Amino acid sequence: MFFNKGGRHYWFAEILSMSGYEPTIFCANIRHNTEDTIEVSKKKYSIKKLNDIPFVFIRTSKSIGNGFDRVKNMSNFFFNLFSVAKEFAKIHGKPDVIIASSVHPLTMVAGIMIARKFGVPCICEIRDLWPEAIFAFNKAKEKSLLGKLLISGEQWIYKKADALIFTKEGDTDYIIERKWDTQQGGNINLQKAHYINNGVDLDNFIKSSNINILDDSDLNSNKFNVVYVGAIRPVNNVGNILDAAILLKNHKEIQFLIYGDGNQREALESRVVNEEISNVKIKGHVNKQFIPNILSKSSVNILNYSQSHYNWSRGNSSNKLFEYMASGKPVISTIKMGYSIIDKYKCGIELEDASADDLANAILHIKGMSNEEYQAFGHNAKEGAADFDFKVLTDKLIKVIEAVK
């Protein structure tokens, strides 16, 4: 957020400030999977302001990958946060409410414990159902001792939080499936559960699209641009896009532009060369400021995921979905989502666990649409994005804050 001057909590904080609140963001001083660091003096923290929003950077260790380094980083943040919060409160006064957001579960545990010490409410924001994701990737077995401990800790968080915010509409289904809700004899009242998805700062998106112009001859060509923007990892299944591109090689007016990075990027670049996939250009990492301009020049945007690496039945909170919609271009999703936003707003096509053939046919379908049909998809996408503008989302957050104060 600090480096990009944007992101969920930055935008929340910015709009909360305009609404008379005084938000402060506490975060690690190390940026995950990079060497980017905010220097911290001999203390355990440093304070910097960005557009009058105070950022309190907690001293942590490097965080590369998902192994020991990341666990150590999480632990550093958890333990250092207690003394930093105490010292910060002596100088600036205690908070009226704490919002603990789950980059990892320890953040929410710390938020609840610190809120207790201050005698203030704690809102826990669950952006990922962590134990479920860990089990899905076989990092731990659900019925193992570690799995049981994680589930028990998760239930404790949901019980102790004064309010819960889920970023996917169907995430409360998880509590019901576990039979943790009070209606089934559990100890979690679903009336304190709220849904606030990710979204987009529409004003900033439009402004950036017109100001931050990417000099890219492929993007600026008159071809039908099939665009993917995002990570290139197993869960994103970008190889499927290359497979679809091979099927469409004879359609010389169609080109595939892939912007992003990840641990599968080199393998895909090798495929492009070795298999002579001439209609695919892998562009690599691109600064986030150029994303709005890239998407504004697409013909169709691909939301590409693997069916097997995630449970999509509860919905989607992908940031790029809302950026795709804000661009006013049709979206093709290679996964059929539960609580589907694409279906709700009629702004694209969702495919059931798409094969390369399915994806290729969907692209041809979009390309073959009448101008009226194509423009309708784009119009619907923009209309839908407006419902996920951060001004709208922050209004929802304010209602949750006021309910627990």
Dump pLDDT digits (tens) for 360-380: 999 999 999 999 999 999 999
pLDDT band at 309 (very low <50, low <70, confident <90, very high): low
pLDDT in tens, 272-291: 999 999 999 999 999 999 99
Q: Do 361 and 312 contact (CB within 8 A), yes or no?
A: no
Region 59-74: what's the mean pLDDT?
81
**What is the number of domains present in the chain?**
2
Region 258-270: what's the mean pLDDT?
95
Shared-domain flag, residues 41 and 148: yes
pLDDT band at 128 (very low <50, low <70, confident <90, very high): confident
Q: Do 233 and 308 contact (CB within 8 A), yes or no?
A: no
Shared-domain flag, residues 191 and 212: no
The reported pLDDT for the residue numbered 162 is 98
For residue 3, being part of any structural domain is answered with no
pLDDT in tens, 197-207: 999 999 999 99
268 has pLDDT over 90: yes
Shared-domain flag, residues 160 and 255: no
Shared-domain flag, residues 221 and 194: no
* Percentage of the chain lying above the pLDDT 70 cut: 100
Tokens of 261: 């990075």
pLDDT band at 149 (very low <50, low <70, confident <90, very high): very high
137 has pLDDT over 80: no
Integer-rounded Cα Rg, in Å, for the chain is: 22
Shared-domain flag, residues 257 and 330: yes
Shared-domain flag, residues 216 and 162: no
C-alpha to C-alpha distance for 268 and 202, rounded to whole angstroms = 33
Q: Do 353 and 346 contact (CB within 8 A), yes or no?
A: no
For residue 95, being part of any structural domain is answered with yes
The reported pLDDT for the residue numbered 354 is 87
Nearest one of 79, 118, 78 to 97, comparing CA atoms: 118
310 has pLDDT over 80: no
For residue 27, being part of any structural domain is answered with yes
State the helix-helix crossing angle for 145-160 and 105-118, rounded to 10 degrees. Answer: 40
Tokens of 14: 């910015």
> What is the pLDDT of the chain when averaged over all its residues?
93
* Percentage of the chain lying above the pLDDT 90 cut: 81
31 has pLDDT over 90: no
Shared-domain flag, residues 236 and 326: yes
Shared-domain flag, residues 164 and 244: no
Residue listed under structure tokens 């193992």: 144
Beta bridge pairs of residue 54: 49
Most confident of 64-73, 226-235, 395-404: 395-404
Region 244-268: what's the mean pLDDT?
96
Domain of 136, CATH number, reads 3.40.50.2000
The reported pLDDT for the residue numbered 280 is 98
Say if residue 32 is exposed, middle or buried (CB neighbours under 10 Å; 0-12, 13-18, 19+): middle
Shared-domain flag, residues 15 and 83: yes
For residue 382, being part of any structural domain is answered with yes
Q: In sequence order, what DSSP letters do the residues of 194-243 get, joined into one string? A: EE----B-HHHHHHHHHHS----TTTTSSSEEEEEES--SGGG-THHHHH
Could you tell me the residue range of the domain that residue 211 belongs to?
A: 202-386
Say if residue 15 is exposed, middle or buried (CB neighbours under 10 Å; 0-12, 13-18, 19+): buried
The reported pLDDT for the residue numbered 132 is 84
pLDDT in tens, 224-235: 999 999 999 988
Distances from the Cα of 49 to the Cα of 43, 66, 93, 261, 278, angstroms: 18, 30, 18, 30, 47
Shared-domain flag, residues 235 and 162: no
Shared-domain flag, residues 139 and 222: no
